A and B are shown apart, each in its own frame.
Chain A
Amino acid sequence: MRRTITTQLAATALGLILAGAAWADPVEDTLVIDTDDGELEIVTKAPAPDHLKDVMDTIWSGWHYREDETRDLQRDDFDNPAMVFADRGLDRWNAEIGANGESCASCHQGPETFKGLRAVMPRVDEKTGKLMIMEDYIQSCVTERMGLEPWKVTGDEMKDMLALISMQSRGEIVNVAIDGPAQPFWEKGKELYYTRFGQLEMACANCHEDNQGMMIRADHLSQGQINGFPTYRLKDAGMVSAQQRFVGCVRDTRAETFAAGSDEFKAIELYVASRGNGLAVEGVSVRH
């Protein structure tokens, strides 16, 4: 009996220590996903890319900052609530919705033809010199090739398609270009990242660089990495794209936010993506 009590005490003490650790720095853990095609290990921690070396050594996926239960949801596709939306994306992909009966599949065959694309987005389009986020490519197909009204940038149709296309690059290492034609956009994004917006005068960097790993009330501040996007956000009970999250973050500084899909948020997406160069695309992730 005494041994039992001692063991329980020790276990309780250990539990307290672990609980304390869980609320501080990113949790040491490894993400191996049980998929239809077997196990897939995801790179969720990596040395910081060169351009970040003076501010941090290691980059961590937001997955490491979430509670055990939330992290577990991403270990098995069967448990991952975001998979429904990727599946719905596949239905949309095959649907003959164009003005002349076009579907995504009728031009692009299967979605797997986009394998690798998510890992290098945003990028500068070679023909136009414009910075493109995935939504821009999808939108141009919807309006120009299919002759439809534009999809809402943060609407369900768009996010389903983002989920489907992102899944094709799951496990691939993020490697967005920041030099050459991308450089001016990247510099603009960096400038915005460090600008203190709104009545609360907060820059992205205040939370996600200076205070990552710390707590604002019960919110555990991550590095704000977007390798996991689009993500199923438990708080919203739905999918959230990076553009949508940027709107929410800037709004929460009591600022006049930029629009989803605006030049400003596209530049921020490029810059933030580049801070995750070295992490793997998670396909569709789960956060809270």
Chain B
Amino acid sequence: MTRRAWLPALAAALVCAAPALAEIAPNDVVFADGAVEASLTGTPGDPVAGAKVMTTNALGNCVACHQIAAMPEVEFPGDIAPALDGAADRYSEAQLRGIVIDAKHTFPDSFMPGMYKTSGFIRPGNGYTGKASEGEPPPILTAEQVEDVVAYLLTLKD
């Protein structure tokens, strides 16, 4: 391989690898009593983007189950899960992050799906196709989206 050929290849590899280096992968998340201390991205989340993730069906869809008084525009929020008002008063940032990533580390019988989890499933599917997932399914939310949701939750103080 000539020098001219491999330099761009190396550059491309570095560019592709850069985001992954900064992120904690789903299987590498470290829980302590359900809490996750380290930010998944190393960058503070955006609460406005987090609110969007929480109210979008194809993303977090948190309002399918949780009610949030600060989101009166959401029609027909579900009620099978606790209201999120005052969540930031009840839980620390690390605890909230742990619950969003995989609530079963905090509440073993929780109905809540793990939002940043890719393994440990029984018959994981390929999205909503009903077909088998090829390998581990991607997490429901990206690392950045998890941090955005955590940032929004931290605004929910009584």
Total of A-B residue pairs, C-beta within 8 Å: 80
Minimal beta-carbon separation of B69 from chain A (angstroms): 16
Asked if B78 is an interface residue, CB under 8 A from chain A, the answer is yes
Known contacts: A202-B111, A211-B80. The answer to whether A256 contacts B124 by CB under 8 A is yes
Docked-complex contact A221 and B122, CB < 8 angstroms: no
In Å, the complex CA distance between A199 and B131 comes to: 12
In Å, the complex CA distance between A247 and B114 comes to: 22
Docked-complex contact A195 and B76, CB < 8 angstroms: no
Asked if B68 is an interface residue, CB under 8 A from chain A, the answer is no
Asked if B6 is an interface residue, CB under 8 A from chain A, the answer is no
Q: Name which residue of chain B comes closest to A248, CB basis.
A: B130
Residue in B75, B122, B126, B129 with the greatest tally of chain A CB atoms within 10 Å? B122
Known contacts: A251-B128, A256-B130. The answer to whether A199 contacts B121 by CB under 8 A is yes
Minimal beta-carbon separation of B12 from chain A (angstroms): 32
**A245-285 at interface with B (beta carbon < 8 Å):** 247, 250-257
**B84-127 at interface with A (beta carbon < 8 Å):** 104, 111, 113-114, 117, 121-127
Known contacts: A216-B65, A251-B128. The answer to whether A198 contacts B122 by CB under 8 A is yes
Contact of B132 among A206, A219, A221, A256 (CB under 8 A): A256
Docked-complex contact A256 and B123, CB < 8 angstroms: yes
Across the interface, which residues of B come within 8 angstroms of A217, CB to CB? 61, 63-64, 76-78
- For this complex, into which size category does the number of interface residues on chain B fall? 20 to 34
Docked-complex contact B121 and A201, CB < 8 angstroms: yes
| A contacts with B: majority SS | loop
| B contacts with A: majority SS | loop
Docked-complex contact A254 and B77, CB < 8 angstroms: no
Contact of A251 among B111, B129, B133, B140 (CB under 8 A): B129
Q: Name which residue of chain A comes closest to B74, CB basis.
A: A217
**B48-87 at interface with A (beta carbon < 8 Å):** 61, 63-65, 75-80
Across the interface, which residues of B come within 8 angstroms of A257, CB to CB? 123, 125, 130
Docked-complex contact A221 and B130, CB < 8 angstroms: no
Docked-complex contact A215 and B111, CB < 8 angstroms: no
In Å, the complex CA distance between A250 and B125 comes to: 10
Across the interface, which residues of B come within 8 angstroms of A210, CB to CB? 111
Docked-complex contact A216 and B78, CB < 8 angstroms: yes
In Å, the complex CA distance between A168 and B128 comes to: 36
Q: Name which residue of chain A comes closest to B126, CB basis.
A: A256
Q: Name which residue of chain B comes closest to A251, CB basis.
A: B130
Across the interface, which residues of B come within 8 angstroms of A197, CB to CB? 122-123
In Å, the complex CA distance between A219 and B125 comes to: 23
Asked if A237 is an interface residue, CB under 8 A from chain B, the answer is no
A 205-235 binary contact with B (CB < 8 Å = 1; else 0) = 0100011001111110100000000000000
A–B Cβ pairs within 8 angstroms, 15 of them: A196-B122, A198-B122, A199-B121, A199-B125, A201-B104, A201-B113, A201-B121, A202-B111, A202-B113, A211-B111, A214-B80, A216-B64, A216-B65, A218-B75, A251-B128
Q: A219-B78, A247-B130, A256-B125 are in contact. List 15 more A-B contacts (CB 8 A).
A: A197-B122, A199-B117, A199-B125, A201-B113, A201-B122, A202-B113, A210-B111, A214-B78, A217-B77, A254-B124, A254-B127, A255-B124, A255-B130, A256-B132, A257-B123
* For the complex of A and B, 9 pairs with smallest distance between CB atoms: A251-B130, A256-B132, A218-B76, A257-B130, A200-B113, A214-B80, A256-B123, A217-B64, A211-B80
